[in-house]
């Protein structure tokens, strides 16, 4: 009866957490769609009016509206292509451990501030509706919160840049990237304060970046290197070695090589045909559809395409074995692949894992070593055949042989019970949020969204994880036939953490659900009970270690 109740309770927790995960992912996707669609819609409407209206800033009025729409849509698509290429370049450079080119960094930074402007436009558009729908005190409070948010964003950005300049750690942006950010701000100020035509400089630069990377990559690389060199000279720093930089042209070359390997037409022909097709289709659509409807339709289609590409890539990576939790660990820590040839300790570890996996009737998971002193053990993956067991050096060095076997059996029990699959899926949004923050730096729009996602993800992952540890303990005892060994391991790890308090990954992100014991609680002078309730009850991923030890010893 108790077992049935336990299973029902676990099922209810999982369903609730899955619903929260789905709602959270949908809300983030909806916010992303709005943030991308708003500037695209505004750019098309403003661009068409600027080219076709006699009262526009350029005083042209010589181009008919359909042709203006075709030209503007083609330019917008080229600009979005530049942003997408730059995002991929920065991400790939970070994965390779190479500095990203200044041009890619500047474009990504420009996109981040366009998102900020987009969020402000959406907020301003919603203000009349909110003023009519909300009571006056609530609306005033909302305005105060918005003002507080803007001030906080500005202060946090300044503090973040100052601390990053003082910490002596390699910056995510090169000096040239920072220099281009200042140029973007200067162009934006000139556009708003003097003449909106200055914004054309940004449009021309993005178009040159895309077309130049395809048609004249050597020219683009020379400009990039010149920007880096001049910026480093002005800052009295050593310029980045051009041979180490991974830039937009390198990303374009990868795409070109992938296309040229196929049997279809060459890359240049594909790009040219695509541009002509877009211009022709846009002109045809503009002759039949009002500009406002065309702008709204294309903004929606663009947002769905861009967000869908990134969401699809994340989902494909998840189920392809490259899980976000594992990528997050690789991004922040030294995560080594097990090599058994030169290290007898590692050979022994592989033997233990292989033997216990056979006893549990499971395929042997891939083994990775986390170069961290705190004792950490976790299993990630959606299928036992494509799962990864991560053990820290601190855990391997702390435990005796039979205790290490018990901990490995505990992690294999998570695989057997499908806990690893459930927790990997539930942890994915929080891990992706952490990756976006670490890869693209501080972003005034991404930062609050990522923070909300991480907090919500931590809660529902903890909600599920707490109910699964007892089952994994029982499974480990069944695999090894030695519950006392796991009890001894838990006690030793708990004592080790008490002696060596540390701010490791387990208290700060969704990967905490995969640890084997929670880190010790440090008493605080103020609000200790409240802080303990939040850390242990709301976001606690494990039941009390003492209770787990008592249960295991009662089985002996």
Residue 500: give its domain's CATH number. 3.30.2010.10
Burial class (CB in 10 A: 0-12, 13-18, 19+), 35: buried
State the residue for tokens 């300049």: 165
Cα distance between residue 475 and residue 481, in whole Å: 10
Distances (CA, A) of 203 to 74, 152, 298: 11, 30, 18
The greatest distance separating any two alpha carbons of the chain, rounded to the nearest whole angstrom, comes to: 90
- Does some domain include residue 501? yes
Residues 6+ apart with CB under 8 A from 233: 239
Q: Identify whether residues 299 and 357 lie together within a single domain.
A: no
pLDDT of residue 280: 79
- Does some domain include residue 149? no
pTM of the predicted model as reported, rounded to 2 decimal places: 0.74
Q: What's the length of the chain?
A: 556
Cα distance between residue 114 and residue 206, in whole Å: 14
- Does some domain include residue 17? no
pLDDT of residue 170: 47
Q: Identify whether residues 365 and 512 lie together within a single domain.
A: yes
pLDDT of residue 107: 85
Contact 172, 149 (CB under 8 A): no
pLDDT of residue 547: 75
pLDDT of residue 507: 44
473, 462, 476: which is closest to 512 by C-alpha?
Answer: 462
Task: Centre a 10 Å sphere on the Cβ of residue 286 and count the other Cβ atoms it contains.
Answer: 22
pLDDT of residue 441: 59
Q: Does 236 participate in catalysis according to the annotation?
A: no
pLDDT of residue 501: 47
Domain ranges, residue 62: 34-133+174-319
- The catalytic residue among 411, 447, 469, 491 is 411
pLDDT of residue 156: 61
- Does some domain include residue 339? yes
State the residue for tokens 């702008």: 295
Q: Identify whether residues 93 and 206 lie together within a single domain.
A: yes
Identify the H or E element spanning 427: helix 419-440
Q: Identify whether residues 187 and 295 lie together within a single domain.
A: yes
**Which segments of the chain have a pLDDT < 50?**
1-2, 56-60, 165-171, 340-341, 501-508, 510, 533
Domains in the chain, number: 2
Residues 6+ apart with CB under 8 A from 364: 353, 354, 357, 358
Q: Identify whether residues 383 and 450 lie together within a single domain.
A: yes
pLDDT of residue 522: 52
The two three-digit tokens of residue 398, written as one number: 């702390």
**Cross-strand pairs, 336:** 369
Q: Of 302, 319, 336, at which residue does a domain stop?
A: 319
First-to-last CA distance in the chain?
23
Q: Identify whether residues 270 and 416 lie together within a single domain.
A: no
pLDDT of residue 95: 76
- Does some domain include residue 129? yes
Q: Identify whether residues 310 and 372 lie together within a single domain.
A: no
Cα distance between residue 461 and residue 66, in whole Å: 52
pLDDT of residue 541: 60
Q: Identify whether residues 277 and 223 lie together within a single domain.
A: yes
- Does some domain include residue 4? no
């Amino acid at each position: 009866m108790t077992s049935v109740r336990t299973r029902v309770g676990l099922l209810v927790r999982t369903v609730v957490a899955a619903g929260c995960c789905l709602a959270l992912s949908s809300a983030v996707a909806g916010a992303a769609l709005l943030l991308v669609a708003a500037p695209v819609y505004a750019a098309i409407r403003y661009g068409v009016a600027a080219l076709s209206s006699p009262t526009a800033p350029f005083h042209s009025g010589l181009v008919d509206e359909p042709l203006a729409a075709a030209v503007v849509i083609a330019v917008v698509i080229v600009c979005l292509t530049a942003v997408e290429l730059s995002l991929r370049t920065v991400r790939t450079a970070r994965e390779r451990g190479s500095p990203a080119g200044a041009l890619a960094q500047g474009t990504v930074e420009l996109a981040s501030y366009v998102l900020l402007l987009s969020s402000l436009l959406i907020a301003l558009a919603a203000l009349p509706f909110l003023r009519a729908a909300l009571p006056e005190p609530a609306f005033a409070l909302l305005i105060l919160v918005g003002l507080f948010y803007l001030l906080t964003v500005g202060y946090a950005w300044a503090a973040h840049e100052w601390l990053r300049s003082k910490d002596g750690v390699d910056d995510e942006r090169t000096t040239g990237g920072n220099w281009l950010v200042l140029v973007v701000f200067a162009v934006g100020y000139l556009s708003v304060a003097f003449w909106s035509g200055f914004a054309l400089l940004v449009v021309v630069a993005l178009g040159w970046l895309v077309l130049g990377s395809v048609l004249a990559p050597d020219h683009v690389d020379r400009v990039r290197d010149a920007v880096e060199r001049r910026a480093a000279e002005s800052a009295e720093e050593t310029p980045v070695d051009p041979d180490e930089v991974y830039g937009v042209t390198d990303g374009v070359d990868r795409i070109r090589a992938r296309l040229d390997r196929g049997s279809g037409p060459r890359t240049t022909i594909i790009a040219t045909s695509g541009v002509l097709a877009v211009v022709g289709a846009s002109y045809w659509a503009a002759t039949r559809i009002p500009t406002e409807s065309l702008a709204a339709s294309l903004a929606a289609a663009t947002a769905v395409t861009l967000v869908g590409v990134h969401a699809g890539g994340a989902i494909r990576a998840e189920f392809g074995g490259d899980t976000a939790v594992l990528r997050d660990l690789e991004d922040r820590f030294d995560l080594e692949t097990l090599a058994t040839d030169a290290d007898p300790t590692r050979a022994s570890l592989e033997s233990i894992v292989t033997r216990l996996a056979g006893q549990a009737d499971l395929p042997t998971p891939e083994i990775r070593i986390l170069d961290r002193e705190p004792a950490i053990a976790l299993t990630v993956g959606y299928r036992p055949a494509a799962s990864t067991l991560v053990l820290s050096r601190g855990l391997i060095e702390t435990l005796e042989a039979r205790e290490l076997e018990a901990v490995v059996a505990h992690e294999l029990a998570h695989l057997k019970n499908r806990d690893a699959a459930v927790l990997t899926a539930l942890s994915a949004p929080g891990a992706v949020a952490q990756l976006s923050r670490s890869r693209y730096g501080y972003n005034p729009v991404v930062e609050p969204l990522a923070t909300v996602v991480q907090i919500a993800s931590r809660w529902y992952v903890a909600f599920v994880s707490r109910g699964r540890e007892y089952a994994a303990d029982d499974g480990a005892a069944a695999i090894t036939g030695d519950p006392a060994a796991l009890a001894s391991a838990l006690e030793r790890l708990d004592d080790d953490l008490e002696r060596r308090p540390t701010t490791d990954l387990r208290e700060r992100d969704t990967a905490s659900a995969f640890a084997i014991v929670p880190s010790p609680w440090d008493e605080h002078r103020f609000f200790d009970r409240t802080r303990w309730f939040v850390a242990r009850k709301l976001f606690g991923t494990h039941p009390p270690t003492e209770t787990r030890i008592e249960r295991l010893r009662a089985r002996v």
